[in-house]
């Protein structure tokens, strides 16, 4: 876990050329993800978790069993910021109907017990550009997210670069069981500029995170400084400067089909 901070640079749009061939894949079905975030004072974190386990978690478990959703997860942040959110839950489906079934059931819950636990709240409704999960049965671990804004009109160019240099390594890690999943999301209902991109990866342990770090570092060492510089410049040409942000969360619970 000591090098996990390097994953924030390497696993999400690392600027390294990783020329590993990958077989052509059919276009995957779009996955929609609803994310609810809260800011919870540390002194109230245990009470918030107890409330969630008692009221919300049974809803997610039931709708997952009924195939209304394909996965759900609950996180708490490990990297705190002054005004940032601290806790989140997400659920994913291949259609809005599945997303809405969760919202409908959650709306039936008496949430008065949360009123004095929450300082802020925010939602996102996302759709996948890439959404890949493996066969891991792990129910906890870590979620790392990197956020970027591509330059206007450069979204496809950025994605081509990412698929060329980054996705083959993610696929290898997924096939090896080193990661539970990875993907790229954009907003389906826009609350931010349409150039927003979220790159995420999930692992089941700190040891797995270290393996991801080591894999990318090994690939980096295969190339010269000039080759790395060229690839870095290619990415810089399609990304808005100064917009990159990372998040590192503990995955308290994760379930998927």
Q: What is the pLDDT of residue 112?
A: 87
Q: How much is the average pLDDT of 183-212?
A: 97
Q: What is the pLDDT of residue 12?
A: 36
pTM over 0.85: yes
Torsion of CA 187, 191, 192, 197, to 10 degrees: -20
Q: Which contacts (CB < 8 Å, 24+ apart) does range 40-43 have?
A: 40/86, 40/87, 40/117, 40/118, 40/119, 41/117, 41/119, 42/86
Q: What is the pLDDT of residues 163-175, one digit of tens each?
A: 998 899 999 999 9
Burial of 217 (0-12, 13-18, 19+ CB in 10 A): middle
Vertex 5, ends 152 and 160: CA angle to 5°?
30
pLDDT at 27 over 70: no
Hey, which CATH number is domain 4-256, 3.30.70.100, 3.40.50.460, 3.40.50.1580, 3.50.50.60?
A: 3.30.70.100
pLDDT at 9 over 60: no
Q: How much is the average pLDDT of 244-257?
A: 96
pLDDT at 47 over 90: yes
pLDDT bucket at 26, cuts 50 / 70 / 90: low
Q: How much is the average pLDDT of 128-137?
A: 95
Q: What is the pLDDT of residue 181?
A: 97
**Cα distance between residue 103 and residue 100, in whole Å:** 5
Q: What is the pLDDT of residues 58-117, one digit of tens each?
A: 999 999 999 999 999 999 999 999 989 999 999 999 999 999 999 999 999 998 888 899
**Mean of all residue pLDDT scores within the chain:** 89
H or E segment to which residue 141 belongs: strand 141-149
Percent of the chain surpassing pLDDT 90? 81
The alpha carbon of 17 is separated from its chain's Cα centroid by a whole number of angstroms, namely 22
pLDDT at 227 over 80: yes
H or E segment to which residue 235 belongs: helix 225-236
User: Nearest 5°: phi and psi at 119?
Assistant: -95, -40
């Amino acid at each position: 876990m000591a090098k996990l901070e390097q994953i924030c640079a390497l696993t999400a749009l690392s600027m390294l050329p990783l020329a590993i061939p990958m077989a052509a894949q059919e276009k995957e079905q779009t996955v929609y993800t609803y994310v609810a975030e809260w800011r919870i004072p540390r002194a109230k974190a245990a009470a918030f978790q107890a409330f969630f386990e008692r009221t919300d978690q049974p809803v997610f478990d039931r709708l997952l069993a009924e195939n209304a959703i394909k996965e759900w997860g609950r996180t708490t942040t490990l990297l705190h910021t002054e005004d940032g959110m601290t806790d989140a839950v997400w659920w994913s489906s291949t259609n809005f109907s599945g997303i809405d079934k969760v919202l409908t059931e959650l709306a039936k819950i008496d949430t008065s017990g949360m009123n004095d636990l929450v300082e802020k709240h925010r939602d996102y409704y996302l759709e996948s550009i890439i959404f890949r999960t493996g066969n891991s049965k792990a129910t906890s671990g870590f979620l790392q997210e990197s956020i970027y804004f591509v330059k206007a009109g450069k979204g496809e160019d950025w994605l081509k670069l990412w698929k060329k240099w980054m996705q083959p390594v993610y696929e290898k890690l997924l096939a090896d069981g080193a990661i539970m999943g990875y993907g790229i999301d954009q907003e389906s209902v826009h609350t931010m500029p349409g150039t927003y991109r979220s790159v995420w990866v999930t692992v089941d342990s700190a040891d797995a995170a270290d393996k991801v770090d080591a894999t990318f570092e090994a690939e980096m060492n295969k190339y010269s400084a000039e080759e790395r510089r060229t690839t870095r410049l290619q990415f810089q040409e399609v990304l808005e400067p100064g917009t990159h942000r990372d998040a590192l969360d503990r995955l308290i619970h994760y379930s998927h089909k």
